[in-house]
Amino acid sequence: MPDYFRYHGPGTLLGGPESMTDLFVRELTEGIAGTGIKAAFLKCAIEDELTPGVERVMRALAQAHLRTGALITVHTSAHAQTGLTAQEILRSEGVDLGAVVIGHSRDTADPDYLHRLIDNGSYLGMDRFGEQIAPNWHYTHLHDHVLPALLQAGVTQAQLGTMLVDDPRRYFSPAKS
Domain ranges of the chain: 3-128, 132-177
pTM over 0.75: yes
The residues with which 101 forms a beta bridge, in sequence order, are 73, 123
Calpha distance 101→93 (Å, rounded): 16
CATH superfamily for 3-128 is Metal-dependent hydrolases (3.20.20.140)
Burial of 33 (0-12, 13-18, 19+ CB in 10 A): exposed
Give 73-119 pLDDT, tens digit per residue: 999 999 999 999 999 999 999 999 999 999 998 888 899 999 999 99
With b meaning 16 or more CB within 10 Å and e meaning fewer, what string describes 123-143?
A: bbbbeebbeeeeeeeeeebbe
Q: Give the model confidence (pLDDT) of 133-173 as tens digits.
A: 576 677 888 898 889 999 999 999 999 999 999 999 999 98
